[in-house]
Chains A and B, each alone.
Chain A
């Protein structure tokens, strides 16, 4: 399978994603430069990686969403192609309107960089079908703007449709504010679009693919084919 990793000026998890996709998952993986607008139809998965695209100027993801590659990505997603946005990638997908809601400053105002626990809330998506419903995963976060917010109507819709894919939780799967690292509404750590082919999440599954790095709970998420 072919996988692509988009590279913006300021992306800094592109190599982590490339390593996980190529060396761990064994995909034929390529970097995709932000200023190009190639046809992506031969790809099985596109990752929008973490980092600080365009220095997070104005708002995280606000400038990246106008990059030429985003036109290709929109077309690819509209045809059902699988898109995973991690951290800054999640912020970009929200800014681009490919996912609902937005990411705001962490409630603590601190940059949080540590392993967290997330619960699989919907195990019937292309990204989570290798997990059990309710399974608890240990995956690292590294962000300053990860507090997911959306209006009440959107939140109801997300819950109703099963678009909340991950929630922050305790090691045993309980939801509480003390295990929510950024103050996200309803403990949301990851959401999908209505078609479930676009997933955005603040935790970094590409950094949790090898036991040597502390966890391999993220590996099954990347095994999309």
Chain B
């Protein structure tokens, strides 16, 4: 059964308020090599084996899963 792994993050041009706080927290914990943190969403979507999973997931991202005004997405399909 194909499984889609979808990653959604804020566009690089947008300030990620959560990522900024995590960056500070990590640096305070001594992880001084951390340069930037971006927080996103990770979704796993199980699909029926028939059809074109790539085309379906692309449409899902455009219609619902990501807001193209503020977010970017990428995905992998596992057979």
| Residues of A in contact with B (beta carbons under 8 Å apart) | 58-59, 62, 66, 94-95, 101-102, 104-109, 147, 149-151, 183
Chain B hits for A62, CB < 8 A: 64, 67
Q: Would you list which residues of chain B between 1 and 44 have a CB under 8 Å from chain A? A: 10, 13-15, 17-18, 21, 41
In the complex, the answer to whether A149 meets B17 with C-beta atoms within 8 Å is: no
In the complex, the answer to whether A109 meets B21 with C-beta atoms within 8 Å is: yes
Q: Does B65 contact A (CB under 8 A)?
A: yes
* Contacting residue for A105 out of B13, B17, B64, CB 8 A: B17
Q: List 14 A-B contacts (CB under 8 A).
A: A58-B41, A58-B64, A59-B67, A62-B64, A101-B69, A102-B70, A104-B17, A106-B17, A107-B15, A109-B17, A109-B18, A109-B21, A147-B17, A151-B13
Which residue of chain A lies nearest to B14 when distances are taken between CB atoms in the complex?
A149
Which residue of chain B lies nearest to A108 when distances are taken between CB atoms in the complex?
B17
Q: CA separation between A102 and B69, bound complex, in Å?
A: 7
Q: Would you list which residues of chain B between 56 and 74 have a CB under 8 Å from chain A? A: 64-65, 67, 69-70
Chain B hits for A104, CB < 8 A: 10, 14, 17, 70
In the complex, the answer to whether A150 meets B69 with C-beta atoms within 8 Å is: yes
Which residue of chain B lies nearest to A65 when distances are taken between CB atoms in the complex?
B64
In the complex, the answer to whether A58 meets B69 with C-beta atoms within 8 Å is: no
Interchain pairs with CB closer than 8 A, number: 35
Chain A hits for B67, CB < 8 A: 59, 62, 95, 102
Q: CA separation between A62 and B18, bound complex, in Å?
A: 20
User: Given A109-B17, A109-B18, A109-B21, A149 and B64 touching (CB < 8 A)?
Assistant: no
Q: CA separation between A109 and B70, bound complex, in Å?
A: 17
Chain B hits for A107, CB < 8 A: 15, 17
Chain A hits for B65, CB < 8 A: 58
Which residue of chain B lies nearest to A103 when distances are taken between CB atoms in the complex?
B70
* Shortest Cβ distance from residue B65 to the other chain A in the assembled complex, whole angstroms: 7
In the complex, the answer to whether B70 meets A149 with C-beta atoms within 8 Å is: yes
Q: CA separation between A114 and B40, bound complex, in Å?
A: 29
* Shortest Cβ distance from residue A92 to the other chain B in the assembled complex, whole angstroms: 12
* Shortest Cβ distance from residue A207 to the other chain B in the assembled complex, whole angstroms: 26
Chain A hits for B15, CB < 8 A: 107, 183
* Shortest Cβ distance from residue A149 to the other chain B in the assembled complex, whole angstroms: 6
Q: CA separation between A105 and B19, bound complex, in Å?
A: 11
Chain A hits for B18, CB < 8 A: 105, 109
Q: CA separation between A104 and B14, bound complex, in Å?
A: 10
Chain B hits for A101, CB < 8 A: 69
Q: CA separation between A59 and B8, bound complex, in Å?
A: 11
* Shortest Cβ distance from residue A108 to the other chain B in the assembled complex, whole angstroms: 8
